[in-house]
A = this chain, B = another copy of it.
Amino acid sequence: MTKYVYNFDEGNKDQRLLLGGKGANLAEMTNMGINVPYGFILTTEACTRYQEEQKIWPELMDEVQAHLKQVEARIGKKFGDKEDPLLFSVRSGAPISMPGMMDTILNLGLNDESVVAVAEKSGNPHWAYDSYRRFIQMFSNVAMGLDSEHFEELLAKKREKAGVQNDFELSADDLKDLAEEYKVKYKELQGEDFPQNPQDQLIMAVEAVFKSWNNDRAILYRKMNEISDSLGTAVNVQQMVFGNMDETSGTGVAFSRNPATGENKLFGEYLMNAQGEDVVAGIRTPFPISHLEEDNPKVYKQFLETSERLEKHYKDMQDMEFTIQEGELFLLQTRNGKRTTSAAVKIAVDLVHEGMITKEEAILMVEPKSLDQLLHPAFKAESLKTAEAVATGLAASPGAATGRIVFTADEATKAKENGETVILVRNETSPEDLAGMVSAAGILTARGGMTSHAAVVARGMGKCCVTGAHELRINGQEKTVAIGDMTLTGKDIISIDGGSGKIYVGELETEAPKLAGDFGEFMGWVKEIKDMKVRTNADTPAEAQQAIDFGCEGIGLCRTEHMFFSEDRIQSVRQMILAQNDEQRQNALDKIEPLLEQDFYEMYKIMEERPMTIRLLDPPLHEFVPREEKDIEIAAKNLGISVEDVKKDIEDLAEVNPMLGHRGLRLGISNPSIYRMLGRAIMQGALRANEEMDCDFMPEIMIPLSTDQKELKYVMDEVRDEIEMVFEEKGKKMDYLLGTMIETPRAALLSDEIAEVSDFFSFGTNDLTQMTFGFSRDDAGKFLQVYLDKKLFERDPFISLDQKGVGKLVELSVENARKVKGEKIHLGICGEHGGDPATVKYLYNVGLDYVSCSPYRVPIALLAAAQATVEAKNK
């Protein structure tokens, strides 16, 4: 038979899933001999069963009674006793700390009869009746869901009548009257008497905790924090201790170290003669914890020792609640404390230096995603306090930016030239907007998801970006953006928060990231421990340098297409695409080739011995064609044909589903000369760089979008043939690798055949996700949010790899590749998922050699990779 109830001394800290975080730690502390008010715990499994049955079942009642008896015996008091009753606090306690769950009910067990005895016995009727009226109020509100307002109103009237400002100034009689009035109100609202039987009170409170698991706030919180609905919450039933008994009593909260900075010094606050809620209520100003040393040196010393003991025991900074009752210290709760990222790093580093934990343990203490906070500017907390967001989009690329609205890339570039800070606001961005994106302080789009063009490029640049802000209605022609009833123009200033997706009107102050000195040391350990490589996706020397500074070990994806857009070559690129004959095309290619060679040369010089995978042209050609009338005229002139004909040719290039169209190696099949030119430019750049450098490197050329061995081999043969020509012309050779992206389901399904002709695979999980689900990442924003809202999907598959579906294809490919080529084939990923910690860990276990992500996510990926190594060892 399942055991649904545990006494505190029956559990331990590792039973968090069963006993909830709070319960497990109360049990642990009890067993450590720390002074904890005794009690028992109803397990999360009881909660789960309650959710199914929607009522308390008799056997649970029996079990509770049995444990109640044991608790009474240990404490030496009886629950429901009329003279000296055992009182309880009842609290929820989920496995994962979760605001939104049921609040605490204190003083449970009091009734009309016992309160009299307690008042008498304690000689403190004020305290006794205050406790009783608080209990009624809390029970009514927290357990029964009655609106607090009703009770606050009665309280206010009472204060008025008594002519006092504060509740604690009310007399014992006032409080006694108030309890009576509360009970009347309860009956009025609830239709029945306030429960006088402590057993009834207990069961109703337990049931209220169970019910609170599915209240709106809790559901929302779980959704936002990706917490499973099936976890359930435990219920902690704990003997009451009273910080409000007298001036030798008190209550407080403290962290064993500073949670904002990580400094190794007790941090917190307390109030004497108060109950827990008074500390946070803000009516009286609590003292800093250091003040307790003067107030009560003995208790302070005791608390300091307990704090140190707990920290050593838990090997982490502790967040504690305590109560002092008549000079005796009780611990009510301990848990690993929440902290800022920089505190997390400092604490982890300090704990290692203090010999408390190993480096491996240290790197598990920092959430990889949180490193983002250390790498980008943010809005000042004060500015945010008064600002109200007018709309919210997707937090596509972290950072904060403030600036005047501009609607086109050109405007952005001009504004930058004028030294002005602007936010580029568009429905969506395209590669043509690149220069404008570089110039803007931030990018805001109305459409597109987390992996839309804007999002991907912005993350690559480490630039703040909010995408998919559907509330925005942008009129590019009239240069207005409407949000609800408000219409903004190019004269307005907005602020966008890429960390929260929030959009504000007006200017907000930002602050630069403060990289704590410990960060470097911490990242050193990370690199020491991890055994999967982390590369970056970078197309320019600046991006590459940034990623190297952040610790990347190579480039996993260098996109040649991004090199096509510079002003000095775009005209030639267009001539190449719109060429009317082979001569015109070759002519254009000949103009582009030396420019690209120089680009590759510069990249190789920066990367030195680090590997760099260069992907041949991937996007459909129509992404490069001119859109503006003047550009079309230039193209027509260059090609010697009419503007009309250019327009027709451009129209011919348009596609219904460009994502599934004439792109990737399909371009290399229909126009081998483009891929040949790229192969030539890469190899000439590499040979030149190699000559000038001391170190050796091996160019890696990557063919995108393969579906088939024969198709891939055709393109590879063309490239190889051109490279052989280069070798012959230059009279020197270099080893190089020729591989492909696995980004169509068919390539994954036939990866054994494809591995035969490939030196490496790089999983393009963006496209693989698009095709496996049939989700266009440019369009999915519209419906994917509904999926998440309706809890059909736990995560956005464009953010965190769909391990079950897309992962199956990745696993199959890895298995096939290893079967065919063993360790000789390099396997990596260059999709956006390469910067997602959960995906990085998954791919480590799948057996990839490296992940590649945008420069600003390199530290995150490094940490995730290191954690994966440690977690695998710990298994």
- A residues lining the B interface (CB < 8 Å): 428, 473, 648, 655-662, 664, 666, 669-670, 705, 707-708, 710-711, 714, 743-746, 749-750, 767, 770-776, 778-780, 782-783, 786-787, 790, 792-793, 802, 804-806, 808-809
Contacts and interface: CB of A to CB of B under 8 A. Distances in A.
A770 B708 contact: no
Nearest to A785: B670
A660 B775 contact: yes
Contacts of A746: 772-774, 802, 805-806
Nearest to A475: B648
A648 B745 contact: no
11 contacts: A656-B658, A656-B779, A657-B659, A658-B776, A659-B660, A659-B774, A660-B775, A670-B786, A708-B792, A710-B793, A746-B802
B473 A776 contact: no
A660 B660 contact: yes
A707 B805 contact: yes
A471 to B, nearest CB: 12
Contact of A658 (B657, B767, B802): B657
Contacts of A750: 804-805, 808
Given A662-B782, A805-B749, A806-B746, A774 B771 contact: yes
A604 to B, nearest CB: 31
Contacts of A648: 473
A779 B669 contact: no
Contact of A790 (B473, B669, B743): B669
Contacts of A778: 655-657
Contact of A792 (B669, B705, B793): B669
Contact of A745 (B428, B656, B666, B771): B771
A779 B661 contact: yes
A455 B782 CA distance: 30
A783 B670 contact: yes
Given A745-B771, A773-B707, A774-B744, A790 B660 contact: no
Contacts of A657: 657-660, 776, 778-779
Number of identical protomers: 2
B656 A774 contact: no
Given A771-B772, A776-B655, A790-B669, A783 B744 contact: no
A431 to B, nearest CB: 14
A793 B744 CA distance: 16
A647 to B, nearest CB: 12
Given A711-B787, A711-B793, 17 more contacts: A655-B779, A657-B658, A657-B776, A658-B776, A660-B660, A660-B774, A660-B775, A660-B779, A661-B782, A664-B774, A666-B783, A669-B787, A708-B805, A710-B793, A745-B745, A745-B771, A771-B772
B767 A656 contact: no
A575 to B, nearest CB: 20
Nearest to A620: B779
Nearest to A748: B745
Contacts of A767: 774
Contacts of A774: 659-660, 664, 705, 707, 743-746, 767, 771
Given A666-B783, A745-B745, A661 B714 contact: no
Contacts of A793: 708, 710-711
Contacts of A786: 669-670
Contacts of A775: 660
4 closest residue pairs by CB, A with B: A660-B776, A657-B776, A656-B778, A745-B745
Contacts of A745: 745, 771-772, 774, 805, 809
A790 B714 contact: yes
Nearest to A775: B660
Nearest to A655: B779
A669 B780 CA distance: 13
Contacts of A743: 774
Contacts of A770: 660
Contacts of A655: 776, 778-779
A476 to B, nearest CB: 11
